[in-house]
Structure 1
Amino acid sequence: MATVGLLYVGAVLFINGMMLLGKIDARAAGIFNLFVGAMQVVIPTVLIITADNRADVILGASGLFLFGFTYLYVGIGLLGGFDTTGVGYFSLFVAIMALGFSYANFKIANDKPFGVIWLYWAFLWLLFFLLLGLKREHLTVYTGWVTAIQGWVTAAIPAFLLLTGYWQNWNQNLLAILLAVFGVVVFGGLWVLTRRRRTLPGDTGRAGGETATAH
């Protein structure tokens, strides 16, 4: 059940990344955020109710609420045109908690690939804090690309591979290393490219149109 939810986390991250890049209207993205946010609140609630006090299941389900509340908060904010500061500071909370869930995956669940993926999410939600909470609008394009890419790399593709049984066939240590290297190389390269673009004459580095108000 949680894996199905992860698949649609990938979808909403991709949609929100495209929104930040000016490709999708903010209100249209807000509707989909509500759909996925509701799913990511219902699924962990069901998992916890049926967990029979299993600590590992409750721990795993508790992290899903971080996503669910984020997307509900974002969806309501986009549709209502509200200020993004609250979402931004909630994103700081999520980023810090993501570090804890990364540690739990490495040390408790012995799931190294998802330990790395939680580090991805900590980085992403930190960007949301900087963009939405601190209003660092020059990060809009960079954050949009990171969001869209993470939608595929941390959610949609892993979820599909888990659902089809192929994820388990990979060497987990090697997979964790590949994910870590990919993140450093791609997001580091993106930072250089987007920073260079901002320095070009006449280019403000912002996505087309009004800066999106949420992720």
Structure 2
Amino acid sequence: MSSVGLLYVGAVLCINGLMLLGLIPAKAAAAMNLFVGGMQVVFPTIILVQSGGDPAIILGASGLFLFGFTYLYVAWNALTGASGEGLGWFSLFVACCAVVYGILQFTTVHDPVFGMIWFSWAALWLLFFLLLALGKDSLDRWTGWFALFLGVATGAVPAFLLLTGAYRTGMTEGLIAGVILAVLFVVAAVLGRRSGTGPGSAPAAPAETPRATTV
């Protein structure tokens, strides 16, 4: 994924995480999902047209569509009020593909850090599937916190490292990244459980129900 595209993937993950946490109404988040979703469809299409059939370039561009279609789907649901089941099942497809892309990062691309990042995205999209398709509403705040954390940890941080030429990858860096992402997954679960219970806790959803619209 390009560094510029990755930066804005991080932004929209943060926005959608805040939406699930009840801090941003779904319609207020639709614009960012439209902008980033459109970018993640148009840019990889241009890359594919100019790839000259290079398998490495095609592989790199192909994963971007998963994000683009997801965010456009989110925007569609937010603006039309459609239910989230279709988006939830699509999220399962994305989660399965993300596992494959993660494996390919280790075996073909030789980038263990992004292998771990893809695995964390698979975990996030699996949560979206459970929340949206299967109606596991108790996961909404866990999913929101994890999306917010990944927006920073797998979007903004690696994007700026790539943009400044400071990005490094290898098995050691991949192991460190994996540990950090696993810790964020657990912390999100703990925060989601705590913030969803007790007197005075924040509402589970804004007026436009995130379960129907959010990824």
TM-score (structure 1 length as normaliser): 0.92
Cα shift readout 1:117-169 (whole Å, capped 9, x = no counterpart)? 000100000000011111111111110000011011111111111011011xx
Match of 1:9 in 2: 9
The letter for the 2-side match of 1:20 is: L
* Equivalent-residue separation in structure 2 for 1:6 and 1:110 (angstroms): 19
Q: Within 2, Cα distance between the matches of 1:82 and 1:171? A: 41
Q: CA deviation at 1:27?
A: 0.2
Contact 2:14 2:148 in 1 (8 A): yes
Bigger mean CA deviation after superposition, 178-187 or 17-26: 178-187
Match of 1:34 in 2: 34
Q: Which residue of 2 aligns with 1:175?
A: 173
Paired positions, count = 213
Alignment correspondent of 2:83 = 83
| Identity between Structure 1 and Structure 2 (%) | 50
Q: How does 1:18-33 map to 2 (within 5 A)?
A: 18-33=18-33
Aligned to 1:106: 106
1:187 corresponding residue in structure 2: 185
Task: Rate the CA distance shift 1:13–1:193 in 2: closer, same or farther, 3 A.
Answer: closer
Partner of 1:123: 123
Report the Cα offset of residue 189 of structure 1.
Answer: 2.9
SS of match in other structure, 1:108: helix
> Which sections of structure 1, spanning at least 5 residues, go unmatched?
none
Report the AA paired with residue 84 of structure 2: T
Distance 1:186 1:34, change over 3 A: same
- Residue deviations 1:168-201 (CA, integer Å, cap 9, x gap): xx35322211111112222113323433555546
Cα gap change, 1:72/1:177 in structure 2, threshold over 3 Å: closer, same or farther? same
Judge conservation of contact 1:194–1:205 (CA < 8 Å) in 2.
Answer: no
RMSD: 1.9
Separation of aligned partners in 2, 1:204 and 1:158: 31
Contact preservation (8 Å) 1:31, 1:79: no
State how far apart, in whole Å, the 1-side matches of 2:11 and 2:21 are.
16
Asked if the contact 2:10–2:156 (Cα under 8 Å) also holds between the matched residues in 1, the reply is: yes
Structure 2 unaligned segments of length 5 or more: list them.
none
